[in-house]
């Protein structure tokens, strides 16, 4: 079997089933002492195109997608470790801009590696501490699903051949992590990510799309694109965040628009 037949989620599940990795389906690894660690790679031509964003925005993005996983873990970031793979003909000035974009997140780069590569590649590890990591498996029927901000901006930008800077929802993450029963960041699209909570918590996530806040210049289809990096949480009480649905008995995700079933796309790196 080839990777594109299995898909990204299938590969991770197979590795976990065989005991070769532990807890890789969570946004971040939780180690002793409340240490939370996450690692994401950005590969040119797969995750970004250099003609669609500035080097500075690329640096911000590489940090932000990892800090978003820390936010989903309720963590306070402590450091970034950055590996840059770059072709030798790249200009130093561009690389400096990239690291300036990383630095804009205010989380210090405390180590890493640089190496030659045919295509630009950034692998970032973010480390932080959390006193309570909600995880994905604690959602129960009757709980509310809330989201920390508008969705669709990334999809709308992509349609216009561009990117928006992912938001940092660290404060929101810490606030929700104090009581949320499940939480993750919306990176693969609302339907796919709600599906992760549904699968790990053995619940059915029902989402009323008319309640989902839509970003300016975006439309509903853009919500399926992902990469908005807002947090989705299952909570058992009223919060200051927008309620977009609820957990019910059952399985899978049900998207409704004014009560009617509705289908949104999603994203898989190996099959896309």
Task: Please report, as residue ranges, which positions from 67 to 126 form the binding site for a copy of itself (by CB under 8 A).
Answer: 78-79, 81-83, 85-93, 95-96, 99-100, 102-103, 108-119, 121, 123, 125
Q: Is 152 in the site for a copy of itself (CB under 8 A)?
A: no
Of 38 and 148, the one with the shorter C-beta distance to a copy of itself is 38
Rounded Cα gap, residues 1 and 16, in angstroms? 17
Q: Is 17 in the site for a copy of itself (CB under 8 A)?
A: no
Please report the sign of the dihedral spanned by the C-alpha atoms of residue 45, residue 46, residue 49, residue 52: positive
Rounded Cα gap, residues 79 and 70, in angstroms? 11
Give the number of other Cβ atoms within 10 Å of residue 142's Cβ: 12
Number of residues that bind a copy of itself (CB under 8 A): 73
Tell me the β-bridge partners of 83: 113, 123
Of 79 and 217, the one with the shorter C-beta distance to a copy of itself is 79
Minimum distance between the CB of residue 148 and a copy of itself, rounded to whole angstroms?
Answer: 22
**Segment near a copy of itself (CB under 8 A), from 35-43, 158-166, 230-238, 253-261?**
35-43
Q: How far is CA 255 from CA 44, 62, 153, 230, 260, in A?
A: 33, 30, 19, 18, 8
Minimum distance between the CB of residue 121 and a copy of itself, rounded to whole angstroms?
Answer: 6
Of 41 and 257, the one with the shorter C-beta distance to a copy of itself is 41
Minimum distance between the CB of residue 101 and a copy of itself, rounded to whole angstroms?
Answer: 10
Minimum distance between the CB of residue 144 and a copy of itself, rounded to whole angstroms?
Answer: 28
Of 2 and 263, the one with the shorter C-beta distance to a copy of itself is 2
**Segment near a copy of itself (CB under 8 A), from 41-49, 138-146, 170-178, 229-237?**
41-49
Task: Please report, as residue ranges, which positions from 168 to 207 form the binding site for a copy of itself (by CB under 8 A).
Answer: none
Asked if 140 and 181 touch (Cβ cutoff 8 Å), the reply is yes
- Tell me the three state secondary structure of residue 83: strand
| Structure tokens that stand for 120 in this block | 């630009």
Q: Is 217 in the site for a copy of itself (CB under 8 A)?
A: no
Q: Is 49 in the site for a copy of itself (CB under 8 A)?
A: no
Minimum distance between the CB of residue 103 and a copy of itself, rounded to whole angstroms?
Answer: 6
Q: Is 1 in the site for a copy of itself (CB under 8 A)?
A: yes
Rounded Cα gap, residues 244 and 5, in angstroms? 33
Tell me the β-bridge partners of 247: 205
Residue ranges of the alpha helices (H) in 114-244?
A: 153-159, 170-177, 190-201
Minimum distance between the CB of residue 185 and a copy of itself, rounded to whole angstroms?
Answer: 13
Rounded Cα gap, residues 235 and 142, in angstroms? 9
Q: Is 47 in the site for a copy of itself (CB under 8 A)?
A: yes
Q: Which of 65, 79, 73 is nearest to 34 (CA)?
A: 73
């Amino acid at each position: 079997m080839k990777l594109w037949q299995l898909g990204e989620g299938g590969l991770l599940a197979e590795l976990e089933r065989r005991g070769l990795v532990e807890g890789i389906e969570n946004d971040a690894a939780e180690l002793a002492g409340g240490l939370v660690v996450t690692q994401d790679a950005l590969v040119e031509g797969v995750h970004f195109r250099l003609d669609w964003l500035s080097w500075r925005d690329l640096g911000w993005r590489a940090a932000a997608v990892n800090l978003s996983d820390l936010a989903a873990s309720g963590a306070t970031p402590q450091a970034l470790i950055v590996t840059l793979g770059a072709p030798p003909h790249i200009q130093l000035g561009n690389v400096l801009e990239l690291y300036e974009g990383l630095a804009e997140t205010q989380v210090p780069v405390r180590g890493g590696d640089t190496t030659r590569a045919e295509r630009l590649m950034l692998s970032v590890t973010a480390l932080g501490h959390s006193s309570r990591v909600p995880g994905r498996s604690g959602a129960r029927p009757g709980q509310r699903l809330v989201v920390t901000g508008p969705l669709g901006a990334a999809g709308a930008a992509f349609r216009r051949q561009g990117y928006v800077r992912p938001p940092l929802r660290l404060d929101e993450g810490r606030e929700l992590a104090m009581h949320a029963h499940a939480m993750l960041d919306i990176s693969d699209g609302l339907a796919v990510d709600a599906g992760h909570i549904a699968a790990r918590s053995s619940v059915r996530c029902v989402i009323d799309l008319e309640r989902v806040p839509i970003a300016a210049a975006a439309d509903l289809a853009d919500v399926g694109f992902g990469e908005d990096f807002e947090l989705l949480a299952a909570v058992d009480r009223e919060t200051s965040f927008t309620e977009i649905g609820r957990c019910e008995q059952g399985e899978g995700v049900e998207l409704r628009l004014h009560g009617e079933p509705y289908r949104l796309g999603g994203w898989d790196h190996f099959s896309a």
